[in-house]
Structure 1
Amino acid sequence: MLYDIHELQRSFLAPLAAFSGSSAQLFTHPYSPWAYTPVSKQLAASYELLHRLGKEYEKPQWDIHSIEKDGKTIEIQDKVVHSLPFCNLVHFERKNLTAKEPTVLIVAPLSGHHATLLRDTVRSMLIDHNVYITDWIDARMVPLSAG
């Protein structure tokens, strides 16, 4: 029920977000006479903020293909090693690595953001660790029967 209300709110805000994006461009485009008014920067920033609040963001990719360790390039491949209706456990497998290193589990926060936003943390941990991370599924996509 709560997610239905959230989606309804998002659908109501979609036209406002589109209008705000267009208005922000109106106040920043070099060929627009409105871009040269004294308050154009403030208005453009306000409209841009409204546009970003109403915009839905896609999940970014991990984009971790290799790391440098001791002057050598190590290939990285992300793999889902365990999947549940509400979470995927992702392992970053390092190719051609013989050393046994400590395993680290990074538990991504359940804040509504994507775990891929922690890619810099994962990249830095991969230098000296075997890394796993929780990749939570959007709660609105989890069936009620799955908990």
Structure 2
Amino acid sequence: MSETAQADAIGGNARSLDRLRRLVARLDDAALSRDLGAGWTVGVALAHLAFWDRISLERWRSWLQSGQMNDLQDATNLVNNATVPEWRTLGPPAIRALVIDAATAVNEAVASGGQSRVDAVSAAGKPRWAHRHLHRMEHIDQIESALASASRAKG
């Protein structure tokens, strides 16, 4: 990751949270049920974002308390696959609240750590701990694409 990209974690996180808020505000309950493939819906993708932002928040908290960077190693897909059934049971109000609350909380944690913490996690090979916007934008783009396709199909 370039130095410019590393330096923009806090700003990128803020911009992605703004975009996420706008997306969530315009999603009705039917849109949250829209299929994204592989058993995922828009709601599942948002719950997934909330979950991983919470994981990142806890990683930051743990690091600040212990000085150790704790990681899940290569368990990401295992965790996603194990949690999709629970994410599918969440209702629209819970999904909306969870995704915004989690993104807000982790943004605050990253920002409070300052650039030196962003640089440290990036140097340790864990840039997505700080650059939450990278993950958010992937799923926001995925959701917006699916919604646009559905809108075009309706004609």
Task: Tell me which of the two structures has the higher relative contact order, counting C-alpha pairs closer than 8 angstroms and 6 or more residues apart.
Answer: 2
**Is the helix fraction higher in 1 or 2?**
2
Normalised to the residue count of structure 2, the TM-score between the two structures is: 0.28
Structure with the greater alpha carbon radius of gyration: 1
**Is the strand fraction higher in 1 or 2?**
1
